[in-house]
Every structure is written in C-alpha cells, then in structure tokens.
Structure 1
Amino acid sequence: MAQIKVYGIKEHLKPIQRELSSIIHGCVVDAFLYPADKRFHRFIHLEREDFLYPEDRSDKYTIIEISIFEGRTVESKKKLIAMLFERVEGELHIKPDDIEITIIETPKCNWGIRGLPGDELQLNYKVDV
C-alpha cells in the first residue's frame, strides 16, 4: 500500500499535478515493484500565505509524503528517494533543494482497507522488496 500526499503553492502545483503524479507513481512502481494499477495520490494546493518555508527555497518548493506498509528494505527506500529527485528535476525542472520527501511506514495492522485490517488483506504484490 502507498498513500501519497503532495503539498505545494497552488499556482505552481496545480499546473504540474498530472505530470508530477505520473512521475511519483512511476518511481514507486520501479523502486517498490508496486502494481501499476494502484495509484492513491492527493494534492494539497496551498495559498502562498499558508505555506511557510525557509527563504532559501523557491516557489516551486514541494513536499512529498509517502505512507506505506512497513517492510521495504532501506535500499528500496533510498532507491525511491533518489529516483524522485532525479526524475522530478529532469522532467519538471524542480531542483532537489526545492523537494522534500518523507516516507512514513506503518504496520499493516494499523491500516483499514476494504473492510479489513491491512494484515488480513490478500495483496497481489510483495512488500518486502
């Protein structure tokens, strides 16, 4: 499971939302061997006055929060982070200094999905990658 939230200034984030979603999803699929048909993304468009960040960031400053079942290896999480920095910069020209990524791992039993605790679900993908 991967639930993704993306925060940014509305004027910047809204126009690139679809492309950024595709980039993020492609990275999750590649790094975690995640099914391509499972995409759970939410974009939080903030007014400039509601998004406070250090002066050394630009208006392109973007936060990506990725909530996942625990169990991925350190290597796969580092691979995901590296891919995100590389692809977002390469395709959307957002410098790594303007991107922050947080991966939040939660035990499967703490998720409720399709009427069941996550640890009782039959998944069609592996988590321990």
Structure 2
Amino acid sequence: MLHVKIYGHAEFIAVRRQQVSDAIQRAGVQELGLPEAGRSHRFLGLDGADFIHPDDRGAAHLIVEIHVMGGRTDRALRAYLLALQAALEDYAGVAPNDLDVILLETPPARWSVRGHIGDDLTLPPEVTR
C-alpha cells in the first residue's frame, strides 16, 4: 500500500492528472506487486506564488511524496523509484530534471489500515520482497 501526494503547478496537474496517477500506479504494480485497483493519490495543484522551486525546473515540475509501509528491501524500493522515474517521463512527460521523489518508509506498527494496525495484518509476500 502506498499513499502518495503529488505537488505541482495547478495548470500541469489539471492536464496530466490521470497520466501521472497511471504512471505512479503502473510502477507500483510492476515493481512492488501492488494491486491494479488500489490507489491512494492526492494531487495538490499550486499556483506560482505557492510553488517556489529552482529556476531550472519547468512547468511539469513535480514533487512526489510517497508513504510506504516498511518491510521491503532497499533493492525493491530502488527498482520502484527507477520504474517510477521512467513511467512519469514516458506516460506523463515529466523529465528527470523536473521530478523530485521523497519515499517515506514507516514501520507497519505505525499504520492503521481499514481498522487494523499494520503489524496485525496478514500482508502479501510482495510487501517484504
């Protein structure tokens, strides 16, 4: 399970919201074994005054903050990040220079999912790969 916040220019998000969401989901399914239908994406479109970034970033600049339940290997998370970068470029037109990703890993004991604490859940094997 991933919870994702996507910050970007409001104009870009208005046009590319679905492509960005699809790219994020595609990488999660491919590299982390997430279910096709399970998405928790929140888009925060900002105007220029509220989205201050280096001058070398363009209109497609995104900051993607991903909250993931702990337990996956560094290798799996690295593969996910690489797949995410490629998918966002291929499907949403976000160049590598316009993408910042922050992956925040939290122990299962600090999650509550559908009324259950994360470490009480029976998780599929792909969560720990």
Q: TM-score range by the shorter chain?
A: over 0.9
Point out where structure 1 has 5 or more consecutive residues left out of the alignment. none
Under a length normalisation based on structure 2, what TM-score does the superposition of the two structures give? Answer: 0.93
1:124 CA displacement: 4.3
Paired residue secondary structure (2:8): strand
Residue correspondence of structure 1 range 19-98 to structure 2 within 5 A = 19-98=19-98
Contact 1:58 1:98 in 2 (8 A): yes
Q: What count of residue pairs does the alignment treat as equivalent? A: 129
The residue that corresponds to 1:100 in the other structure is 100
1:91 CA displacement: 2.2
Paired residue secondary structure (1:63): strand
Quote the Cα distance in structure 1 between the aligned partners of 2:123 and 2:38.
11
CA RMSD of aligned residues (A): 1.3
Moved more, 69-78 or 116-125: 116-125
The residue that corresponds to 1:113 in the other structure is 113
Quote the Cα distance in structure 2 between the aligned partners of 1:65 and 1:125.
24
1:20 CA displacement: 0.9
Under a length normalisation based on structure 1, what TM-score does the superposition of the two structures give? Answer: 0.93
Letter in 2 for 1:67: H
Point out where structure 2 has 5 or more consecutive residues left out of the alignment. none
Letter in 2 for 1:41: H
1:54 CA displacement: 0.6
Percent of residue pairs bearing the same amino acid type? 31
Contact 1:35 1:125 in 2 (8 A): no
Contact 2:60 2:93 in 1 (8 A): no
